[in-house]
């Protein structure tokens, strides 16, 4: 999804950069990041909370046993923590490309890869010492490195074209986080209420319920992703 959004918004970035419309570009980048984040947060929460029934539904058959489901669920949960980072990188990297700067995303990515390698050598043993699956540490290492890469690029892009609409983005992340936490609570009790009905109902029904709860809370909190989408298109 983020790749599609990044591809769609790149011509807008390029046109704004060509005419040095920095205010417009800052607004478009800020709005696009908010729209992506407001969709990625509930996806992250959903993958963590509903990970087990979804993995069971998709893969648990034949040689893929319950122990395999457990192992994949651990990895999925910690990879999901980096979903916002991966999505944000798809957007912010294209802002650099619009500025004819392909070097910065590359060297920042290289540093992040080195950091990921360091964490990958460290976290599995930490997880094992705590009684958790070591491979979950590898997933967490990737997520941390990706989030750090996004943070670094966000700082550097603001040095190039001025501050983004950071207060608006903080407000959006806060509201989206509240809605996602509310969704997580509902989905937790959903699984407690339907413990033995099979992964199709728990996982599939949980997705539908989670979407409804999140959209309802987003509406109450005045999150407006459709408005942002129209703004991006008009820009």
Cβ atoms of residues 50 and 206 within 8 Å: yes
pLDDT tens track for 16-58: 999 988 899 999 999 999 988 898 999 999 999 999 999 988 8
* Contact between residue 79 and residue 142 where contact means Cβ atoms under 8 Å apart: yes
Q: In sequence order, what are the residues at sequence separation of 6 or more whose Cβ sits closer than 8 angstroms to the Cβ of residue 79? A: 139, 142, 143
Residue 14 pLDDT more than 60? yes
Given this model, what pLDDT does residue 226 score? Answer: 47
Global pTM reads 0.87
**Nearest Cα to Cα of residue 9 among 27, 38, 32:** 32
Cα distance between residue 92 and residue 33, in whole Å: 8
Distance of alpha carbon 225 from alpha carbon 229, whole angstroms: 6
| HEC-encoded secondary structure of 177-203 | HHHHHHHHHHHHHHHHHCCCCCHHHHH
Handedness of CA 86, 45, 174, 215 (dihedral sign): positive
Residue 231, pLDDT > 70, answer no
The pair of structure tokens assigned to 49 is 């909370």
């Amino acid at each position: 999804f983020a790749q599609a959004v990044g591809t769609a918004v790149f011509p807008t970035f390029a046109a704004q950069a060509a005419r040095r419309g920095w205010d417009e570009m800052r607004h478009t980048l800020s709005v696009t990041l908010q729209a992506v984040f407001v969709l990625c947060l509930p996806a992250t929460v959903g993958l963590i909370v509903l990970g087990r029934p979804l993995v069971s539904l998709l893969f648990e058959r034949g040689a893929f046993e319950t122990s395999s489901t457990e192992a994949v669920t651990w990895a999925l949960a910690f990879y999901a923590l980096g979903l916002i980072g991966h999505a944000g990188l798809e957007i912010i990297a294209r802002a650099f490309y619009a500025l004819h700067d392909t070097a910065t995303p590359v060297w920042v990515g290289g540093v992040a890869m080195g950091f990921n390698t360091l964490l990958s050598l460290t976290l599995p043993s930490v997880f094992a010492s705590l009684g958790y699956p070591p491979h979950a540490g590898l997933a967490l290492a990737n997520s941390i490195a990706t989030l750090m890469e996004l943070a670094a690029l966000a700082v550097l892009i603001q040095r190039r074209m001025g501050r983004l609409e950071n207060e608006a983005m903080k407000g959006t992340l806060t509201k989206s986080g509240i809605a996602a936490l509310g969704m997580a609570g509902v989905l937790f009790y959903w699984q407690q209420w339907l413990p033995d009905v099979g992964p199709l109902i728990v996982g599939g029904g949980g997705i539908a319920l989670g979407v409804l709860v999140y959209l309802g809370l987003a509406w109450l909190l005045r999150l407006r992703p459709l408005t942002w989408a129209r703004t991006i298109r008009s820009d």
